[in-house]
Amino acid sequence: MSRTFLVVDRPADWSIALPDGVRMITPREYLTEPDLQRLRRARVFNLSRDYSYQSAGYYVSLLAEARGHRPLPSVTTLRHLHGRQPVVTPELQQVIQSSLSRLQSEEFTLSIYFARSLAKRHDRLARALYNLFPAPLLRANFALGRNGNWRLRSLGPIPARDIPESHAEFVREAAQRWLRRPAEAGPPSAARYNLAILIDPAETLPPSDEGALKRFIRAAARQKIAAELIEPDDLGSLAEYDALFIRATTSVENFTFRFARRAVDEGIPVLDDPVSILRCSNKVFMAELFERHQIPAPLTRILYRGAATDALRALGLPLVLKQPDSSFSQGVIKIKTAEEFDSTCARLFQSTDLLIAQQYLPTEFDWRIGVLDGRPLYACRYYMARGHWQIYKTTVNSRHTISGRSDTLPIEQAPPAIVDTAVRAANLIGDGFYGVDLKEINGRPLVIEINDNPSIEQGVEDLVLKDSLYDAVIQSFVRRIESRLAGNVPPANRLP
């Protein structure tokens, strides 16, 4: 039986060649056929003539979600598109200005058909708007402001009945291309679920190298999961997957956070979730968390802009200054003198109101304990870069990063106190996938930080477990997907 459906009011109007596994049906058929009501998983492209509240088109998307199907547009998208002023990010505003800057008129309407525009010069803008609110057919209205900048005045779905006849052929061709895409056409018949793996091809230090990504995909295939790499421009297609695995460096300020939030909005499992990203990306939060829950950590002081501090007296010199959102050893500075402390604080406080000052504890290596679903998964030792006090050393021109060597141990061979402390700390963040960094001082574990989205590189973290590490991550996704399909979706890790 087909698992991908193109829902249209008048099939005669859509004379397109459908790929294998795609069936064209009417809203009435989708809503009333008993076989479709019982079908466990499906993709539903809703091109109904009317999406208004309680219309047949509205109920197609609503009941698709109730059945565990994947509708496009989702009810969430329909809700956001009706009666709300679109939120324009700075990145989208730049795309709008670039795309429309040559227009001579004061108003402009852009029709977006399956993420594409009739005018190729507006394709980038069409894709950006589709990513904002994924719907097969969209119409955006723009107005030129007095300051000479274009603004997005409204964005809404186009009912199929409102497609101009002059656009019909383009829409049919766009629909046909869209349905032929492997991800949107649904998983192979042998696959149980679709997994999106988000990467950033431009990233110099990604959390997983090419070899590890290939092993994740093979591990998924072993468990009949169709895993596919997606990129930052693919936000609009996220709703058509069953889960999202983020393998790009996360930040509250970049695209990874938008993907994580969209996954939560769409109700699909994501590693790591937006709450974990938010918590792990800020060292001020972690310092407070460790103190409150008595997690052993180096002596730490939170520094406030313009306020006197006892950091030098309490921590001594040298000490370590950290920006709240530092990562990969960047934004982490070793301070040797009081004068250097004052000048570095003055510089860093230009971009933040809070800083972290921490006791300097030199060690040959840091422990990294991988924690998945509240249980330890792997244990690594990351050694300091040659001639440096950190694991990563950035060259003077900031073009290259040098890292120290590493080794990996069976989890049972790591010191029990290190493992137990790491798991206890990670469980304060959530039930996702974390890498807990610790130092061992005179046999005592001290937690340095908790990382969401921990590094998994071929020949490093997988050195002991090999394929079993990748299998464990995929199995976690299977459990999360099946829990969601069974209706067991906890409200945790959902942002307002």
| Exposure letters 249-268 (e unless 16+ CB within 10 A, then b) | bbeeeebbbbbbbbbbbbeb
Of 62, 80, 98, which residue sits at a domain end?
A: 80
d(CA 447, CA 438): 4
Cβ(432)–Cβ(276) under 8 Å?
yes
Amino acid identity for residue 451 in this structure: N
At residue 490, the pLDDT reads 52
Burial environment of residue 389 by CB neighbours within 10 A (0 to 12, 13 to 18, 19 or more): middle
In a domain, 289, yes or no: no
In a domain, 285, yes or no: no
d(CA 428, CA 368): 17
At residue 46, the pLDDT reads 92
pLDDT averaged per 10 residues, the chain (length 496): 85 80 92 89 87 88 88 84 70 90 91 92 92 88 89 84 86 84 48 93 93 97 94 88 95 92 90 94 90 94 82 90 73 89 90 89 94 97 84 62 86 97 97 96 95 95 97 97 76 44
Q: Which of 205, 203, 229 is nearest to 217 (CA)?
A: 229
Q: Which of 62, 80, 83 is nearest to 71 (CA)?
A: 62
HEC readout, 372-405: ECCEEEEEEEEECCCCCCCCEEECCCCCCEEECC
Q: What angle do CA 390, 394, 205 make, to 5 degrees?
A: 95
Domain check: are 156 and 166 in the same one? yes
- β-strand partners of 45: 6, 72
Is the pTM for the entire model greater than 0.85? no
Distances (CA, A) of 320 to 282, 436, 440: 16, 19, 17
Secondary structure percentages of the chain, helix, strand, coil, to 5: 35, 25, 40
Strands 365-372 and 354-359: unpaired
Tell me, what CATH number does 24's domain have? 3.40.250
Domain check: are 165 and 210 in the same one? no
At residue 494, the pLDDT reads 43
Helix (H, G, I), strand (E, B) or coil at 426: helix
Cβ(179)–Cβ(4) under 8 Å?
yes
Domain check: are 460 and 404 in the same one? yes
In a domain, 374, yes or no: yes
At residue 308, the pLDDT reads 63
Tell me, what CATH number does 460's domain have? 3.30.470.20
Cβ(28)–Cβ(60) under 8 Å?
no
Domain check: are 222 and 232 in the same one? yes
Enclosing domain of residue 381: 363-466
Tell me, what CATH number does 236's domain have? 3.40.50.2300
In a domain, 136, yes or no: yes
Tell me, what CATH number does 94's domain have? 3.30.470
Helix (H, G, I), strand (E, B) or coil at 371: strand
Of 139, 163, 180, which residue sits at a domain end?
A: 180
d(CA 477, CA 270): 8
Contacts of 104 (CB under 8 A, 6+ apart): none
Alpha helices in 189-317 (DSSP H): 210-222, 255-266, 274-280, 283-292, 311-315
What are the E-state strand segments in 328-374? 330-335, 354-359, 365-372
Domain check: are 206 and 260 in the same one? yes
- Torsion over CA: 10, 16, 17, 20 (sign): negative
In a domain, 496, yes or no: no
Domain check: are 266 and 216 in the same one? yes
Strands 43-46 and 70-72: parallel
At residue 69, the pLDDT reads 87
In a domain, 284, yes or no: no
d(CA 490, CA 24): 35
In a domain, 495, yes or no: no
Work out how many domains the chain is built from and give that number.
5
Domain check: are 344 and 381 in the same one? no
Domain check: are 248 and 216 in the same one? yes
Of 80, 112, 141, which residue sits at a domain end?
A: 80
d(CA 151, CA 166): 27
Domain check: are 391 and 478 in the same one? no
Cβ(200)–Cβ(210) under 8 Å?
no
In a domain, 242, yes or no: yes
At residue 496, the pLDDT reads 40
| Exposure letters 22-33 (e unless 16+ CB within 10 A, then b) | bbbbbbeebbee
Domain check: are 367 and 329 in the same one? no
Domain check: are 72 and 98 in the same one? no
Domain check: are 476 and 402 in the same one? no
